[in-house]
Amino acid sequence: MIRRFKESFGEKRLQSALKIHVRQKEFLNIEDVRTVGIVFDATNADDFEIVKNYVNKLKQMGKRVHGIGFYDAKVIPANIYYTKSDFDLFNAKEVKGMGEPESPYIKTFITEIRDILIDVNLSNKFPLRYISAMSYAKCKIGIDIPQNKNIHDMLISVNPSAGMDKYLSQVDFYLQMMNKKN
């Protein structure tokens, strides 16, 4: 209950911050994209593996990719393996009272201008929504839920229960369609 209250207050602060948040918007076809940021919930090991595979797929296409994941507990288990050059993970201890994540690497992730930010926050966790909202990415892609309307430039209509694989395949589909060169 207290967590919901804090996130509700944090949401109001976020909406106020978005009113003055200025960034350059640009829609690119996947062929023209050079840099990609991915925001995801790292709590479920299977979902984290799906994100790792997706990052590897993008890297094989020549994209520079970095993901930031939220592990929704006070400690990230020691058996979670990832490449530091590809991912940063943060936990509940790194979230301020109103749900805003705080850490130097999170600030860096937010302020680095990327061609695309893919929000894979299917569980709608506020710290991840905050990162997506405040990101300076040129194009932000997220799942079509009411809370994402003011945050993303492109919303993908997929039921969250369909899973991460289905969502990411739809992201790929629409990225290939954008600004298609004849």
**Residue 182 maps to a domain:** no
Between the CA of residue 178 and those of 4, 65, 166, 171, what are the distances in Å?
A: 37, 19, 19, 11
Terminal Cα distance for the chain, rounded: 53
| CATH, residue 139 | 3.40.50
Per-residue pLDDT of the chain (182 residues; tens, 9 = 90+): 655 655 665 666 666 665 666 678 888 888 999 999 999 999 999 999 999 999 999 999 999 999 999 999 988 887 777 888 899 999 999 988 777 888 899 999 999 999 999 999 999 898 999 999 989 999 999 999 888 888 889 999 998 889 999 999 999 999 988 765 54
Q: Which contiguous run of DSSP H or E holds residue 59?
A: helix 45-60
Whole-prediction pTM value? 0.88
Closest CA to 27 of 159, 158, 152, 161: 152
Distance between alpha carbon 31 and the CA centroid of its chain, in Å?
Answer: 20
Number of domains the chain contains = 1
Q: Which contiguous run of DSSP H or E holds residue 140?
A: strand 139-143
Q: How confident is the model at residue 182, as a pLDDT?
A: 45
Rounded Cα distance, 165 and 169, in Å: 6
Host domain of residue 69: 2-177
**Residue 129 maps to a domain:** yes
Tokens representing residue 172 in the block:
């790929």
**Residue 39 maps to a domain:** yes
